[in-house]
Amino acid sequence: MSQPTASSTTARPFQGAIGVFDSGVGGLSVLRAIRAALPHEHLVYVADSGHAPYGDQSEAHITQRTLTVGNWLAEQGVKGITIACNTATVVAAKALREQTHLPVVAIEPAIKPAVALTRSGVVGVLATRQTVQSVAVARLMALYGAEKRILLQGCPGLVELVERADLHSAETEALLRQFITPLLEQGADILVLGCTHYPFLRDTIQRLAGQSVTLLDPAEAVARELARRLADSSGLTPHTEQGSVQFFTSGDVAQVQTVMSHLWDAPLTVRALP
C-alpha cells in the first residue's frame, strides 16, 4: 500500500490504515503506544476537540459523536478502529460495534489488573464523571472487585487542562491533589489512570501520590490487543513499509496543532475534520 494521504483522489483515502480517536488530545497517549508496537502501520488520529470534554456530556451526545467519528473513519477505508477514550468506550463502544463490521478495540479503565496488583486491597480509579457513573464500570467492579475496595473518583476539569497543555501549573496540581488525596487517605496503593488524558499528568500524579503507589495506564495492552485483532482479521502491514500518522480535529486546528505537537514531542500537522 502506498502511503495514504487525505488529498488522494480515491474515495477511500486511508484504505488499510488504522483509525484512532478520542474526544481530544488525550488519545495521543494510546496512539504513541500503538505507534511503538506497530511501527509499520498507517494511522489516522481524530481529536474530537470541538466536542470535548465528553465526560461532562449526555450519553446520547457521546454516542452520537462516537458513531459520527467512527463512520467517518470507516468511510475513509480504515481496516480497524481504536477507541482511545474510556468515556466513549463505556458509553458507546457497543453501539459502534453494532454499526460496523470493522474490528473495534477500545480502552477501558484497568480495574482488572489493578485488583490483581493491589497489596493494600484498595484501588483508586481516576476517570471522567460519565465513566465513573457508567454501567460498564459497575460491571467491571462486580466482575473483579468483589473482594477489594474500589474507589471511583470523577475528575471534572482535568481534561480541559490537558486540552490546553496546562500540565504543570499550580491550578493543575491543586486539582490533582483534591482528587488524589481522599484515595490515598483511604489506603489506595494503585491508581488507575481511567482517562487517556491523564497519562500526560503522570509525573505530577506520581509525585503527589508517592513512589509506593503504582499508576496503571492500559495503553500498551490496548496496542497489543489491536495487533492481535488485526493479525486475525484484516492483517498487518508488511514490515517493508514505513508507517505514518495523519491527524485531524473537529476543534480549533491551530490550537489543537500546537497542543498536540507539544504532547507528541514533535511538530505535527493537524487538519480540520471534514
Instruction: For residues 274 and 2, give the distance between their C-alpha atoms in angstroms, rounded to a whole number.
Output: 22
Interaction between residue 22 and ligand DGL (CB under 6 A): yes
**Alpha helix ranges (H) inside 21-151:** 28-37, 59-75, 86-99, 111-117, 129-132, 135-144
Of 46, 78, 85, 159, the active-site residue reads: 85
Interaction between residue 52 and ligand DGL (CB under 6 A): yes
Interaction between residue 54 and ligand DGL (CB under 6 A): yes
Applying CB under 6 A, the span of 21-29, 114-122, 142-150, 237-245 interacting with ligand DGL comes to: 21-29
Neighbours of 229 (CB within 10 A): 16
Candidates 38, 73, 159, 226: give the one binding ligand DGL (CB under 6 A). Answer: 159
Candidates 66, 76, 87, 134: give the one binding ligand DGL (CB under 6 A). Answer: 87
Candidates 76, 82, 86, 250: give the one binding ligand DGL (CB under 6 A). Answer: 86
Candidates 4, 16, 53, 124: give the one binding ligand DGL (CB under 6 A). Answer: 53
Interaction between residue 196 and ligand DGL (CB under 6 A): yes
Output DSSP code: residue 54.
G
Beta carbon of residue 23, minimum distance to ligand DGL (angstroms, whole number)? 3
Instruction: For residues 168 and 152, give the distance between their C-alpha atoms in angstroms, rounded to a whole number.
Output: 24
**Alpha helix ranges (H) inside 77-236:** 86-99, 111-117, 129-132, 135-144, 158-163, 170-185, 202-209, 219-232
Based on DSSP, count helices (H) and strands (E) in the chain, helices before strands: 11, 10
With beta carbons less than 8 A apart as the criterion, state whether 261 and 49 touch: no
Beta carbon of residue 12, minimum distance to ligand DGL (angstroms, whole number)? 27
195 is known as an active-site residue: yes
Cell of 254: 491551530
Interaction between residue 49 and ligand DGL (CB under 6 A): no
Cell of 221: 495492552
Beta carbon of residue 4, minimum distance to ligand DGL (angstroms, whole number)? 25
Interaction between residue 23 and ligand DGL (CB under 6 A): yes
Residue numbers annotated as active site: 85, 195
What is the binding site for ligand DGL (CB under 6 A)? 22-24, 26, 52-55, 85-87, 128, 131, 159, 195-197
